[in-house]
Structure 1
Amino acid sequence: MKLPDFEAWGVFAKVAESGSFGQAARDLAVSPGTVSKAVARLEARIGARLFHRTSRRLALTEAGLAARDAAARLLAEGEAAETQASAGAAAPRGRVRLAAPMSFGVMHVAPLLPDFLAAHPGLTIDLHLSDAVIDLIGGGFDLGLRIAALPDSSLRARRLCTVHRSLVAAPAYLAAHGRPAHPRDLAHHACLGYAYLPSPDRWRFLAPDGTEAVAVPGGPLRANNADALAPALRAGLGLAVQPDFMLWDDLAMGRLERVLPGWSPPPIALHLVTPPGDPRPARVTALAEYLARALSAAPWAQ
């Protein structure tokens, strides 16, 4: 019986993850020619092309898409086996691809990374920031942070903490326009909207007794990033629903105030998500555990 070409499958997994023969070569510390030969060897063995190649673009073929997840698991299991066999003597090495929401990533993830990288000189991090929902598997990501009520999916999710949200406004806005007493009053106020809410045209609020109210917001500005709303919010142009991790300093300094304290948007949480399958490479586990500890203990998470 002829053994599978494990080396070629590992190289294929790296190319599929990075979307580049050159990047895979850098990650593996081999020449681009070695990567090309390994993939060509594998294609000859299975009798099918794994990539569509042009001078500007690399894309998986149907055969490549079908083989990608199994190859990634094979590579992860091989890395885990080596880690276990070395009894933890070797420090984690390699690249971790991490996806996070834009504002949260800039404010609360990026400041954590220097200490982690200093403690793990063999690791590199490819941080991708976007408020859109990222396809971790299709995008080749090892790890993601998501702030939402997560739907059922094949991803593995670890809940880190509740993310509280509040309706807020600047003192100047409230002095000029008054305070709404009930969510229905928001129909008569300027509201600043966040486009990536599950229902941006409807704001849901819950009272402590479980009563639900829905407001239909309208106002001068809607954006697909919460940071973009902050200047207008502080300038007194309207009210907005914002997460506490965005508001922490503004509330403490009095630049913003909570409105409708008896009502709150439905709860959401910060989750750490990873593609399915075990075991995870040591490099991914190291970053996941570090982020879980640090973010769970953040002041706004308490």
Structure 2
Amino acid sequence: MARLPDFEAWAVFAVVADTLSFARAAEELAVSKATVSKAVSRLELRLGARLFHRTSRRLSLTEAGRTARDDAAGLLAAGEAAEARARDASEARARDASGAPRGRVRLAAPMSFGVAHLAPVLPDFLAAYPEVSVDLHLSDERVDLVGGGFDLGLRIAALPDSSLRVRRLCGVRRSLVATPAYLDRHGRPAHPEDLKAHACLGYAYLPTPDRWHFSNAADETVSIVPEGPLRANNADALAPALRAGLGLAVQPDFTIWEDLKSGRLERVMPDWQPPPIALNLVMPPGLPRPARVSALIGFLERAFSEAPWAQPEPAAQAPLPSPAEAQALT
């Protein structure tokens, strides 16, 4: 029989390659530094190549280590996902008679939305379900739910078809906004073409960050190339420049609704809207879902369907998003 791969060594190597520290990897894995060192040495012996350059002050990947890093990360993620699925199935079968949800839920969400809106409601969930814990991962980059072993993800987008199960929580309006002071100085654009004369603050994770799309009630569509002093990969990073009156930006209502209510910001070109999006819960395929996951789904549905910025339905006149817009995951 062929010798099996040393999966433990591959997993340990993946963590060391990510942290570039034997000590931090040992702490993350809850094992001794010696155990980590032996696992890496074992893998190097099997591969016949050194994976790290080691000095007294620094650890860095060799060429062989860089080549092996992605494979190791994939093996670790696959193993974690397999264990999570098996554990979920076991817990679903062995749930106690009371049916009380228990265990950990891994949840992924966009950074700005997660900090401003998701994190504040989670204490109520945790108080209601004291035997459930939440492992929250915040990132504006697209997250592989299946490969990363996540139970749920929040995505703010017009989602394309996929194997993931999707539950729409609410519509999210996006608007072009600026401060009244900026508009008083530079004028209020009435048509997307007018934006060529304005400073535009851009969000890098739009599906087409170099082009903004607008449509009106007559189904006319206009695209423009925004130009301005700042583009960022996080919506919160645009807020100071926007509030300082340095330009206009397309922002979802959940980031600006209080500024609009107070008058700090003003909607611009209300007759022209960006493509509609929604706040969605996405889940890996397959049933049954553990009680803890179902409990969190129900809680988030209630919390966000009643949010002050939530739109119960997309605008009736809004056209369908373009294929590029449909790939947005902000």
TM-score, normalising length: structure 2: 0.71
What amino acid maps onto 2:210 in structure 1? D
Q: Tell whether 2:199 aligns with 1:190.
A: yes
Residue 269 of structure 2, aligned match among 260, 271, 293: 260
Q: How does 1:218-237 map to 2 (within 5 A)?
A: 218-237=227-246
What amino acid maps onto 2:204 in structure 1? A
Query: Counterpart in 1 of 2:92?
Result: 80
Structure 2 contact 163–285 (Cα < 8 Å) conserved: yes
The CA deviation at 1:74 is: 3.4
The CA deviation at 1:65 is: 7.2
- Secondary structure of 2:213's match? strand
The CA deviation at 1:69 is: 5.6
The CA deviation at 1:68 is: 6.6
Query: Counterpart in 2 of 1:163?
Result: 172
**CA–CA separation in structure 1 for the residues paired with 2:299 and 2:138:** 19
**CA–CA separation in structure 2 for the residues paired with 1:245 and 1:21:** 40
What amino acid maps onto 1:77 in structure 2? A
The CA deviation at 1:61 is: 8.6
Query: Counterpart in 1 of 2:306?
Result: 297
Aligned-pair identity in percent equals 65
Structure 1 contact 245–300 (Cα < 8 Å) conserved: yes
* Cα-to-partner distance string for 1:105-154 (whole Å, 9 max, x where unaligned): 11110010111111111111111111111111111111110001112222
Gaps of 5+ in 2: 1-7, 16-24, 36-50, 53-58, 60-68, 312-330
Q: How does 1:75-224 map to 2 (within 5 A)?
A: 75-83=87-95, 86-87=96-97, 89-224=98-233
The CA deviation at 1:77 is: 2.2
Gaps of 5+ in 1: 1-11, 26-31, 37-52
Residue 283 of structure 2, aligned match among 256, 274, 278: 274
Structure 1 contact 73–277 (Cα < 8 Å) conserved: no
**CA–CA separation in structure 2 for the residues paired with 1:176 and 1:103:** 30
**CA–CA separation in structure 2 for the residues paired with 1:74 and 1:128:** 21
* Cα-to-partner distance string for 1:219-276 (whole Å, 9 max, x where unaligned): 0000001111011001110000000011110001100000001000000111001111
For residues 175 and 283 of structure 1, do their structure 2 counterparts lie closer, same or farther at Cα, with a shift above 3 Å needed? same
Structure 1 ranges of 4+ moved more than 3 A: 19-25, 56-74
What amino acid maps onto 2:92 in structure 1? A
Q: How does 1:246-257 map to 2 (within 5 A)?
A: 246-257=255-266
Query: Counterpart in 1 of 2:254?
Result: 245
The CA deviation at 1:292 is: 1.2
Structure 2 contact 217–271 (Cα < 8 Å) conserved: yes
Moved more, 195-204 or 118-127: 118-127
**CA–CA separation in structure 1 for the residues paired with 2:177 and 2:166:** 30
**CA–CA separation in structure 1 for the residues paired with 2:306 and 2:284:** 25
For residues 63 and 111 of structure 1, do their structure 2 counterparts lie closer, same or farther at Cα, with a shift above 3 Å needed? closer
**CA–CA separation in structure 1 for the residues paired with 2:305 and 2:103:** 26
For residues 181 and 267 of structure 1, do their structure 2 counterparts lie closer, same or farther at Cα, with a shift above 3 Å needed? same
TM-score, normalising length: structure 1: 0.77
The aligned length equals: 259
**CA–CA separation in structure 2 for the residues paired with 1:197 and 1:209:** 25
Structure 2 contact 77–149 (Cα < 8 Å) conserved: no
* Cα-to-partner distance string for 1:68-91 (whole Å, 9 max, x where unaligned): 7665443322221223xx44x042
**CA–CA separation in structure 2 for the residues paired with 1:285 and 1:66:** 23
Q: Over aligned residues, Cα RMSD in angstroms?
A: 2.9
